[in-house]
Amino acid sequence: MKFLVCISNVPDTTTKITFTPDNKEFNKAGVQFVINPWDEYALTRAIELKEAQGAGTVTVLNVGEADTEPNIRKALAIGADDAIRVNAHPKDAFFVAQQIASIAKDGGYDVILMGKESIDYNGFQVHGMVGELLGIPTVAPAMKLDMSGNTATLEREIEGGKEIVEVNTPFVASCQQPMCEPRIPNMRGIMTARTKPLKVVEPTGDAARTEVAAFALPPQKQGVKLIPAESAGELIKLLRNEAKVI
Amino acid sequence: MSVLVVVECDGGEVKKSSLEVASYGSQVAQMLGTTATAVAVGEATEANLAKLGEQGITKVLHDAEPRLKDFVNGAYTKLIAAAAQKEDAKIIVLANSNIGASVGSRLSIRLQASIATNVVELPKTDGGSFTVKRGAFSGKAFADVKLDGDRKIIAVKKNSIEALHQAGKTAQVEAFSAQLSDADFADAPKQVVMQDQAGGILLPEADLVVSGGRGMKGPENWNLIEDLAKALGAATACSKPVSDVDWRPHHEHVGQTGITVSPNLYIACGISGAIQHLAGVNSSKVIVVINKDPEAPFFKAADYGIVGDVFDVLPKLTQAVKELN
């Protein structure tokens, strides 16, 4: 079975967010970039399923410029077999989805996995766009994925519960907790990752449908109003009479 | 040309987030000098759909196909696309829910529309451009996004828009069939499992949330969280370390990689306020932090705080709520 796992390169989760002076771009200076945490679930589960089947391949795909390669190598160190980088700045979800669909179509992948969303743009869109572009089912967000032959059983989160869904390959799923315990690379993986193939391809077209006009930070908080612990009940009165939220 | 609003229903009722979406859609329609039509998904009663008039909806399309009771991505996408074609909708508004985002992204390809999710304000239409404000960087920033093209899809974040209530107004409910075939139900769920929700309040829909962290010491102490939540009519939540050690189920985990919430009130009990947790809650209108460590970083993001032991403070709060009621 051929797995395609799409990963994005995002600022580390503890990063203080700042922007360039014109507020058009995220300020990358001094920021550590990591594999999108949601994508790590997709990557690890694909590797686990390949190992369980004893056959198949896991290909990692990233749409990004050359500075994303350290994290692509990290994905290879975790256990992916090979990687493809589409050499382009990821303009928007539509642009990225087109690149993924194009690679997927040519590569004949059975299962396409990715994280539910990226922690920087929080779009939750790419999986659905890829599914629709390829005309195959999408299950999002998936909390569990098991395979039996060409049939997958997934648990999909819904508000207040879950759906158990069965689909046949090929399909797209976006992943989230508690699908698996993401793996970290070991020394052997790091060594072998250096020799695994990483193919760089040019993008298919340059169409995007959205553009960020400006980023902004939320307004600063006014400061905390402290209530003494011994008169904790006063807080409830303040929440009703001052904040008017209860 | 019209605005189409996707209304999610559950157990016959229109979800609260969909009342907000309907209000958003009708205000956009007013800005553009047109009307807003809704298409209902899920199990809905005609009486409840007619009440969408209070949110400014003039007409509701309702496909009574019983298999649409539970979410089916293929069928929902086809139904909404058919409604959009029928109404010649240039703007489609959905909730930024698992259903809304799943369907919205597929629809954007099918209808060749631009899309923005996580939207928190009404659009701006200055000088021919169409711009929406959306949350980004896990709630740590906002982005003004220009949507191109003839058709646009907007997924509205919960609790970002005040629902309108224009008493006495009703919408016309119209039977609608999207001519769905068995193939459209290929990804229908084999089973739907609902989880126990404290007090029956869904966390993503809640106006009030009481949340616990490792400072609660163990799952056996969660009755203190639940007692306050019950008195307030709030949902319960937890931090990631708590769900990681199985004190509480995953669906209560709030944070960067869990559920993002934006209630009117978020009460954090025994949670220090790691940046990843803040990312999931910092769009709450009012944040209360209770922690015995005065240096806990969460106090910097809080509106109200109590430096004290949660085991001492929580019963006092619960008692005070009961006295107030």
Spatial distance between the Cα atoms of B7 and B60, rounded to a whole number of angstroms:
9
Q: Return the closest-CA partner of residue A62 out of A48, A73, A78, A46.
A: A73
pLDDT per position as a tens digit, A59-69: 999 999 999 99
The pLDDT averaged over each successive group of 10 residues in chain B (325 residues) is 94 94 98 97 95 98 94 96 97 96 96 97 92 93 96 94 93 96 91 73 87 96 96 94 91 87 94 91 93 96 96 96 89
Q: Are A175 and A38 in contact (CB under 8 A)?
A: yes
Q: Which two tokens stand for residue B239?
A: 């931090």
CB-based contact A139:A172 (threshold 8 Å)? yes
Please compute the mean of the pLDDT values over residues A188-202 and round it to a whole number: 97
Q: What is the pLDDT of residues A10-32, one digit of tens each?
A: 999 889 999 999 999 999 999 99
Q: Give the angle B180-B181-B186 at the CA atoms, nearest 5°.
A: 110
Of A120, A143, A177, the CB nearest to B257: A177
- What per-residue confidence (pLDDT) applies to B196? 65
| Nearest CA distance, B234 vs chain A (angstrom) | 10
Of A97, A120, A235, the CB nearest to B137: A120
Cα–Cα distance measured from residue B76 to residue B316, given in angstroms and rounded to the nearest whole number: 47
Evaluate if pTM is beyond 0.90: yes
Q: Which two tokens stand for residue B277?
A: 């947790």
Cis peptide before A141 (omega within 30 of 0): yes
pLDDT at A219 exceeding the cut of 80: yes
For residue range A94-152, list pLDDT tens digits in order: 999 999 999 999 999 999 999 999 999 999 999 999 999 999 999 999 999 999 999 99
CA distance A11 to B212: 27
For A160-180, write each residue's pLDDT tens digit. Answer: 788 999 999 999 999 998 899
pLDDT of A190 above 70:
yes
DSSP state at residue A89: -
CA–CA separation, B293 vs B59, rounded Å? 54
3-state SS, residue A38: helix
Contact B184, B78 (CB under 8 A): yes
For residue B170, what are its two tokens?
């009703």
Q: Are A99 and A31 in contact (CB under 8 A)?
A: no
Chain B: closest CA distance from residue A131 (Å): 7
Q: Sort B325 into a burial class: Cβ within 10 Å, 0-12 / 13-18 / 19+.
A: exposed
Cβ–Cβ contact B1 with A under 8 A = no
Picking from B138, B280, B300, B283, the residue whose alpha carbon sits closest to that of residue B211 is B280
Distance CA B232, CA B228 (A): 6
Asked whether the beta carbons of residue B98 and residue A129 sit closer than 8 angstroms, the reply is no
- B270: enclosing H helix or E strand: none
Contact A227 B304 (CB under 8 A): yes
Please state, in angstroms and rounded to a whole number, the distance separating the CA atoms of residues B234 and B321: 12
Distance CA(B72)–CA(B270), nearest Å, equals 39
Residue A8: its pLDDT value, please? Answer: 97
Note the pLDDT of residue A187: 96
| pLDDT the model gives residue B260 | 85
- Asked if the ipTM is above 0.90, the reply is yes
What's phi and psi for B64, nearest 5 deg?
A: -85, 10
Which of B15, B109, B323 has its CB closest to that of A133? Answer: B109
Distance of alpha carbon A101 from alpha carbon A87, whole angstroms: 15
DSSP string, A164-199: EEEEESSEEEEE-TTS-------HHHHHHHTTS-EE
> Which chain A residues have a beta carbon less than 8 Å from that of B195?
160-162
Q: What is the pLDDT of residue B210?
A: 97
Q: Tokens 């004190």 identify what position?
A: B247
Interchain contact B64–A (C-beta under 8 A): no
CB A160 within 8 A of CB B194: yes
Q: Check CB contact under 8 Å for B192 and A161.
A: yes
Cβ atoms of residues A219 and A93 within 8 Å: no
The string of DSSP codes covering B277-311 is HHHHHTT-SEEEEEES-TT-GGGGG-SEEEES-HH
What is the amino acid identity at position B294? P
Tell me how close the Cα of B221 comes to any Cα of chain A, in angstroms: 19
Give the residue-averaged pLDDT of A226-234: 93
**Rounded to whole angstroms, what are the CA distances from B127 to A209, B3, B159, B190?**
18, 20, 29, 49
pLDDT at position A189, please? 96
pLDDT digits (tens, 9 = 90+) for A68-84: 999 999 999 999 999 99
The pLDDT, as a whole number, for residue B197 is 59
Instruction: Give residue for tokens 């200055």.
Output: B126
Q: Copy the structure tokens of residue A71.
A: 């994290």
Q: Could you count the other beta carbons within 10 Å of the beta carbon of residue B33?
A: 7
Measured from the Cβ of residue B276, the count of other Cβ atoms closer than 10 Å reads 18
pLDDT on residue B126: 85
Measure in Å the smallest separation between the Cα of B101 and chain A Cα atoms: 6
